Structure 1
Amino acid sequence: MNITLLVGGRSTEHDASLHGYHHVLSELRKEPDRVTVDSVCYVDRTGAVRFFGGGPWPEDEKDLLAGEVLPLGAAIERLRSGGSFVFSLLHGNEGEDGGWQGLAEVAGIRGNFGPVLASALGMDKYLQAALATALLPGLRAPRSVLVRADSFDAQRVLREAGPGSLVVKPNRMGASLLTTCLHDPDESELAKAVAAAAPYDNQVLVQEFVSGREYSCSVYRENGRLVELPVAEVVSQGFFGHEEKHVKGRARIELCAEDPTTKAIRDYAQALFEATEVATFARCDFLVRDGETYFLEINTLPGLMSGSIFPMALAATGRTITDLVVAASGDHESRPARDKVKEYDISH
């Protein structure tokens, strides 16, 4: 099986993509008889595309920037006609928000992109929470106020958000970037947090801080069936933000033994995965407080860095990143084709 790795992206999560690329590349090298990387397509931070058609594969950003520059249209055509399965590691804006998913659908690129709708919802925390709680009886979401940065009224938002600590986060970004917990919020603090996020996303989510146990459930489909991966608990000092996620020692991940709580969480995650037709794999985050489960978000392209939750859960079942790539190819090939051409008469 030949694959193209699609990495980087004009995105605030560019660095996560590069770290995932390093780990995936190193893991694939362990099983060269099953999967061969035959090209690397790098989208730099400005959106320019660089293509590598042979090894040795670039490792760091300096090497990636030295690749052959292609116009976007030419790059899409090469991905379409190259014969390889494209495994995308593009995170965040223009990577997993429906942008590249739409390009792949229109151009006919074979890859792990999946449907546009699932990815677009996966990058909108406010809408996905509304959908998840509507579809899944018993699942709750933190009390939330969606703020438009250009019409922000701090006094109104504080009133609607209610008493207690608040979490302020961009509605359509990942990696907990620019996410702030305000333990004693006032108008000035709230305005400062919203202003920090606004240049990157004019939709900002203000939520009640739910103090509870945080869980992350990986979902994975292989050969047409869902595989039960262990649920992970995130153990941190009260708040799991960007630094807690990305600075070693700030939090730890523990794979959980099966119990009624983890089973309920997996049932919720798998039901949402199926309902939105996410491709191959995802990760859903939850909080549990006083026996009630709160939905936080679904991530339709979970991090594949060394030490990330999804690879850890995958490895616990004896599976590898190579298994994931092979499963993604099989998932794409088994997806029912849609006939998009139908003529009809309009008589008026």
Structure 2
Amino acid sequence: MPGGKSPGRKPRVALIFGGRSSEHGVSCSTAGSVLRALDRERYDIIPIGITVDGRWVLEKDEPERLAIQSDQLPEVDEKGTAVVLASDPGAALVSLDPTAVPGTLGEVDVVFPLLHGPFGEDGTLQGLLEMAGVRYVGAGVLASAVAMDKHYAKLVFQAHGFPVTPYTVIKPGAWERDRAACEESVASLGYPVFVKPARGGSSIGITKVSKPGELVAAVEKAQQFDPKVLVEASAGKAREIECGVLEGLDGGRPEASAVAEIRYDTSYDFYDFEAKYLDDEEHVDLQLPANLSEDVTRRVREMAVTAFEAISAEGLARVDFFLAEDGTLLLNEINTMPGFTPYSMFPRMWAATGLDYPALVDRLIQLALRRPTGLR
């Protein structure tokens, strides 16, 4: 069977990380944490980095090299031996050392795609793996693409009856063709608004806009990362709530983690990239479990699982909410490959639920090994 393990050896797991998106460094950091947690007695590990220009290279199994050092994000080593994944079902990695004949690195039983952002988390890599008949951790092509595009994720969630923050979309070319219409659409939301790349993550390229005169710079900043821009109304003083979801074992319903809340002081206008990855927690307080009533906690967990099912997600996801002062829960977004260091919210929520980091990594690989490729 394509992607199946040959008898008499351990499952071979290929970690793929880095990538062409602006979240390259975050992905590398995530990979370092997963490498550190993987049990070498149970799995053979092949670390594969994708450089910022899209080349696949064989990386060293050195987790410490991929850690964030003094606010410096790690990068894939561009000098590594080039590798390719055979496109025909059979799941073999081939090395392309220019000084030697191309050699097969062996079958791959499962890929753990640790890419964040476009060109990896958005269904593109998942489609390649489906074509090659390789099992992989996480959501499939459709769910990955929908979750990555915040515009279409909102459309799906609205169709399922979820309340979302009011928004408008500035599509590629619309800003140049009719800027006045775009500005009018944004003004209808009321200021302040948040301007963000529609298909981005880690809060990169996001700007809080408090008045019309700040809009142009914010849109142009977002367009540096994505020609499609999403503008959302502010949720005001709403609390930021998160919940993790894991695919159920043996076909059971997805499971929800303990619920967390993100709180930050006036040093930040919102939970931006620096607050997520570089802050020493002096200004950011991650409350786990969140100080919520039993009823709100129950609703968050139920909505998180329903959102997971609404986009046909698999494996894992982090679901983010706004809790308004009147108790209304707004579904903000779903992330099918959330930050995955031991200090990231998703693993921390599951640790609080009773599943520690190594066990979480192992469960995701086992889920992927059980799942076939193709239509399911």
In the alignment, the residues of structure 2 paired with residue 100 and residue 339 of structure 1 have an alpha-carbon distance, to the nearest angstrom, of 16
Q: Quick check: 1:11 aligned with 2:11?
A: no
Output one character per residue of 1:314-343: Cα deviation in whole Å (capped at 9) or x when no partner. 111232333233322332344366579xxx
Unaligned 5+ runs, structure 2:
1-10, 67-73, 95-104
Alpha-carbon shift at residue 276 of structure 1 (Å): 2.1
TM-score by length of 1: 0.86
Aligned residues: 332
For 1:343, the equivalent position in structure 2 comes to none
Change (3 A) 1:83 1:208: closer
In the alignment, the residues of structure 2 paired with residue 22 and residue 96 of structure 1 have an alpha-carbon distance, to the nearest angstrom, of 18
Q: Which one-letter code corresponds to 1:96 in the other structure?
A: E
Change (3 A) 1:265 1:200: same
Structure 1 stretch displaced more, 288-297 or 323-332 = 323-332
Structure 1 stretch displaced more, 147-156 or 225-234 = 147-156
Q: Which one-letter code corresponds to 1:24 in the other structure?
A: V
Change (3 A) 1:142 1:191: same
Alpha-carbon shift at residue 25 of structure 1 (Å): 1.7
1:1-348 to 2 correspondences below 5 Å: 1-28=11-38, 31-33=39-41, 35-52=42-59, 55=61, 59-60=65-66, 64-71=77-84, 77-78=92-93, 82-135=107-160, 137=161, 139-152=162-175, 153-161=178-186, 162=188, 163-183=190-210, 185-186=211-212, 188-211=213-236, 212-224=238-250, 225=252, 226-237=254-265, 239-248=270-279, 249=281, 250-255=283-288, 256=290, 259-289=294-324, 290-335=326-371
Change (3 A) 1:200 1:73: farther
Change (3 A) 1:259 1:334: same
In the alignment, the residues of structure 2 paired with residue 207 and residue 320 of structure 1 have an alpha-carbon distance, to the nearest angstrom, of 35
Structure 1 stretch displaced more, 215-224 or 155-164 = 155-164
TM-score by length of 2: 0.80
In the alignment, the residues of structure 1 paired with residue 227 and residue 257 of structure 2 have an alpha-carbon distance, to the nearest angstrom, of 36
CA RMSD of aligned residues (A): 2.6
Mapped contact 1:279–1:331 kept (Cα < 8 A) = no
Q: Percent identity?
A: 29
Mapped contact 1:223–1:330 kept (Cα < 8 A) = no
Specify the SS of the correspondent of 1:229. strand
In the alignment, the residues of structure 2 paired with residue 297 and residue 150 of structure 1 have an alpha-carbon distance, to the nearest angstrom, of 25
Specify the SS of the correspondent of 1:5. strand
Mapped contact 1:48–1:71 kept (Cα < 8 A) = no
Specify the SS of the correspondent of 1:67. coil
In the alignment, the residues of structure 1 paired with residue 244 and residue 375 of structure 2 have an alpha-carbon distance, to the nearest angstrom, of 32
In the alignment, the residues of structure 2 paired with residue 203 and residue 319 of structure 1 have an alpha-carbon distance, to the nearest angstrom, of 38
Unaligned 5+ runs, structure 1:
341-348
Change (3 A) 1:180 1:81: same
